[in-house]
Amino acid sequence: MIWFRTWKLGVKSLLLHPMRSILTVLGIFIGVASVIALLAIGEGISRKAQEQIENLGAQNIMVRSIKPPDDGSGNFGEIKPYGLTRIEKDLMERTIPTIDSTVSIREMPMRFTYSGNSNIKPMDGRLVGCSPAYREVVGLKIDRGHFFTDVENDSATPVCVIAAQLAGRLFPSEDPIQKLVFLPEENVYYRIIGVLKHKEATAAIGGSLSAQDFSMDVYIPIKTMQGQFGDTRQKRTGGSFTAEIFELSQVTVRVRNVADVPKTARLIETTLRRTDPSREDITMVVPYELLEQAKVTKLMFMIFMGMIAAISLVVGGIGIMNIMLATVTERTREIGIRRALGAKQRDIIHQFLVETVVLSVVGGVTGIIVGLFCPIAIQGLRTGLETFFPAMYAAIPEQIKDMTPEIVPSSVPLAFGISVIVGVVFGLYPAMRAAKMDPIEALRHE
């Protein structure tokens, strides 16, 4: 009963100055909402980054060819080979027992058009030679037709599977299946046997794997590419002539057991650098290691975001202390009268602590409600930018456009608990100061 009267008196005292109470609550409200919203945004960004890595496969290791910079040491007109070779790929399969399978690809920038429609201008894209297993490794999904088979690969059949966006541009009003894609620079044709579903572009990962856009790809059997193009790629531009020799753009190694991935990665690197430890024409991406690094980065990022939001709560707590000190000064005579009527120091402390806790709880509850609407607010902000500021929206990275904030369940009780603790801690000093007043001096106060 005594506690009920104390709470009732505390609430009534706060309602005597509604504007001041609202402004005090605002500090805690902003702090709690910031904790929940910032952690949700951080979780969303981190989740998107981890999905990019997980899509590469935790059991996979990507070994890519890189064209080394020209150091000027070669003779004029000399063509130097670089990158991964088919012999090295076979060597890895034979000598490393933890490898389950390997998938080779070769990529070439190319221009594509449709020979049946002269109005279609050649379009820049990427010609990818691969085996049928590549579809599963990358996560390509068929929309129409089918992906080429092992039989079509072994027989070097001139067939292809094209990306959805390229199919829409080359064949805006026709079914592309069984039509011919023409490569004007090479004067070759490929019969379309399948069209893929749209696949989102991937971001650059780990500083070694560049971003990949699958929207303008044409996939052909790797043996078809090897038979038609060989290992030498020549290009004439005006009066200049360039040539390069490389066999494979990438070999994706699948390891039998996830636990063996780090050991297998070390063995692969040792195998490929056995003759030249300083070799610069290859790089290796290990999604498993990147995933572990991403988890550590996520933890650090979340702590950093939480600390920034916690500063808002501390500022709100300082606001509570400031207001309560002013309140103590205003109510000095009231405190003196209560002490004269027999109130003890703990009764005065309870009265003022109740007021600070009420301010903190109200601020915490409203902050939680607003913070939980963070995903909806972010989506509304993106929609508004896209509608009214299209140029600004277009400049936003795709990863941010696709990012959806995810509420961290632990952030709700954490933010609310901190808000109450802040209210108690910052309200304790004013309450003790009020309780320790000399009743006689307090009664003389005007």
pLDDT tens by residue, 16-53? 777 878 887 888 888 888 888 888 887 887 777 667 66
Residue 207 above 50 pLDDT? Answer: no
Comparing CA positions, the residue from 198, 202, 191, 134 lying closest to residue 164 is: 198
Instruction: State pLDDT tens for residues 234-248.
Output: 666 555 666 778 889
Of 210, 239, 256, the residue at which a domain comes to its end is 256
The answer to whether position 283 is within a domain reads: no
117 in the same domain as 47: no
300 in the same domain as 218: no
| Res 83: pLDDT | 85
Q: Provide mean pLDDT across the span 252-280.
A: 86
Instruction: State pLDDT tens for residues 84-135.
Output: 889 999 999 899 999 888 999 999 999 999 876 667 788 899 999 999 988 8
The answer to whether position 350 is within a domain reads: yes
Instruction: State pLDDT tens for residues 145-170.
Output: 999 999 999 999 999 999 999 998 88
Structure tokens at 409: 């369940």
Q: Cα dihedral sign for 375, 378, 384, 390?
A: negative
Largest CA distance in the chain: 106
Instruction: State pLDDT tens for residues 284-296.
Output: 888 776 667 667 7
The answer to whether position 45 is within a domain reads: yes
| Rounded Cα–Cα distance for residues 35 and 31 (Å) | 6
Structure tokens at 407: 């509420």
398 in the same domain as 300: yes
172 in the same domain as 83: yes
242 in the same domain as 100: yes
Distances (CA, A) of 296 to 293, 301, 344, 444: 5, 9, 52, 61
Structural domain including 252 reads 60-256
Distances (CA, A) of 315 to 29, 311, 322, 372: 11, 6, 11, 22
| Residues 6+ positions from 162 with CB-CB distance below 8 Å | 170, 176, 181, 192, 194, 195, 196, 217, 218, 219
Whether 165 and 118 have beta carbons less than 8 Å apart is answered as no
| Res 255: pLDDT | 87
Of 192, 227, 256, the residue at which a domain comes to its end is 256
437 in the same domain as 342: yes
C-alpha 381: how far from chain center? 19
The answer to whether position 265 is within a domain reads: no
Comparing CA positions, the residue from 379, 364, 375 lying closest to residue 408 is: 375
166 in the same domain as 230: yes
Question: Looking at the 3D structure of the chain, how many domains does it have?
Answer: 2
The answer to whether position 358 is within a domain reads: yes
The answer to whether position 105 is within a domain reads: yes
The amino acid sitting at 428 is: L
The answer to whether position 415 is within a domain reads: yes
| Rounded Cα–Cα distance for residues 356 and 423 (Å) | 5
382 in the same domain as 437: yes
The answer to whether position 263 is within a domain reads: no
Q: Provide mean pLDDT across the span 274-285.
A: 83
Distances (CA, A) of 21 to 9, 123, 357, 424: 15, 65, 12, 16
Better-scored residue on pLDDT, 307 or 215: 215
46 in the same domain as 70: no
Residue 54 above 80 pLDDT? Answer: no
Residue 7 above 70 pLDDT? Answer: no
36 in the same domain as 68: no
Instruction: State pLDDT tens for residues 299-331.
Output: 777 777 777 767 777 777 787 788 777 777 777
Q: Band of the pLDDT at 225, cuts 50, 70, 90? A: very high
CA torsion, points 330, 334, 339, 342, in degrees to nearest 10?
-160
212 in the same domain as 80: yes
| Rounded Cα–Cα distance for residues 276 and 105 (Å) | 24
Burial of 278 (0-12, 13-18, 19+ CB in 10 A): exposed
68 in the same domain as 45: no
